């Protein structure tokens, strides 16, 4: 009786099927070796899966090698070893391709998601989305909890394995119903800089530029931290999570009503 493997091999031979680098092939992991696994891919050539090709973040995940035996799934064919005639396979690269496909869809749909904070450095926060390392620059951090952070994709480049996220953009999208161009509300002063004031409005950081401050000679000592100021929203940048406000235009409205 012809076994399943030889039947499959005969079918491939009949249709003159050839495997090439970059192909996605189905196979079953059959043996655990010291630095990899043997994989039955249904052809005369045996497949070989190096252990470093198991998962995207190999260092952060522990696999029970025995549990992988008899697992049937798809593999990415990297190349053929000329000496051993083995097809070198990868799960990691296939997962990488599929992860970036999902990330691109998330980017297109402009989705807000919550991620675990893995590491904080001087530049910002390191996190992971679909197994791909992402970075949130400090300039794009607004509100974080102890372990998690809400985020939205800012820029992606799968060729460079670059994923930049924004917490500010995510927070603004969540609170967008509270912000409308032309709306007048109160903001609390957080800090003062040479170019203007940063204010807290519903947990979102807004900029009151010196060019939009009315009837007051601006200096950092004039405005006290924690003081409430009536402002008008004049600009929203959803992608970068930026809000610009004005007191000058609030004064202009008041003067118009007085007339």
Q: What CATH fold (topology level) applies to the domain 95-172?
A: OB fold (Dihydrolipoamide Acetyltransferase, E2P) (2.40.50)
Query: In this predicted model, what pLDDT tens digit does every residue of 223-250 receive, in sequence order?
Result: 788 989 899 999 998 888 889 999 987 8
Q: What is 177-258's CATH topology?
A: OB fold (Dihydrolipoamide Acetyltransferase, E2P) (2.40.50)
pTM across the whole model? 0.72
In the chain, residues under CATH classification 2.40.50.140 are 4-90, 95-172, 177-258
* Contact assessment for residue 175 and residue 166, using Cβ atoms and an 8 Å cutoff: no
Question: Which residue, 98, 110, 87, is CA-closest to 38?
Answer: 87
Report the CATH architecture of 4-90.
Answer: Beta Barrel (2.40)
Q: Which residues of the chain have pLDDT under 50?
A: 1-2, 12, 15-16, 58-62, 254-259
- Enclosing H/E stretch for 192: strand 184-193
Q: Are 241 and 171 in contact (CB under 8 A)?
A: yes
pLDDT, tens digit (0-9, with 9 covering 90-100), for 15-62: 445 678 899 999 999 999 989 999 999 888 889 999 999 886 544 444
Measured in degrees and rounded to the nearest 5, phi and psi for residue 167 equal: -80, -35
């Amino acid at each position: 009786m012809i076994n399943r493997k030889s039947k499959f091999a005969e079918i491939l031979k009949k249709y003159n099927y050839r495997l090439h680098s970059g192909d996605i092939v189905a196979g079953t992991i059959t043996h655990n070796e010291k630095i990899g696994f043997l994989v039955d891919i249904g052809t005369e050539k045996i497949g070989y899966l190096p252990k470093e090709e198991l998962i995207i973040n190999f260092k952060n995940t522990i696999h029970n090698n025995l549990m992988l035996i008899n697992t049937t799934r798809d593999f990415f064919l990297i190349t053929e070893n000329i000496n051993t005639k083995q097809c070198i396979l990868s799960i990691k690269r296939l997962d990488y391709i599929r992860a970036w496909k999902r990330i691109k869809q998330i980017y297109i749909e402009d989705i807000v998601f919550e991620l675990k904070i893995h590491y904080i450095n001087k530049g910002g926060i390191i996190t992971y989305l679909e197994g791909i390392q992402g970075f949130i620059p400090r300039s794009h951090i607004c509100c974080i909890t102890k372990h998690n952070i809400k985020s939205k994709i800012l820029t992606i480049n799968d060729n460079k394995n670059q994923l930049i996220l924004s917490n500010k953009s995510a927070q603004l999208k969540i609170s967008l119903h509270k912000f409308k161009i032309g709306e007048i509300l109160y903001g609390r002063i957080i800090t003062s800089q040479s170019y203007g004031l940063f204010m807290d409005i519903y947990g979102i950081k807004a900029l009151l530029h010196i060019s939009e401050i009315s009837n007051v000679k601006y200096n950092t000592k004039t405005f006290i931290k924690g003081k409430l100021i009536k402002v008008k929203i004049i600009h929203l940048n959803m992608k970068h999570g930026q809000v610009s406000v004005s007191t000058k235009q609030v004064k202009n409205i008041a003067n118009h009503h007085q007339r």
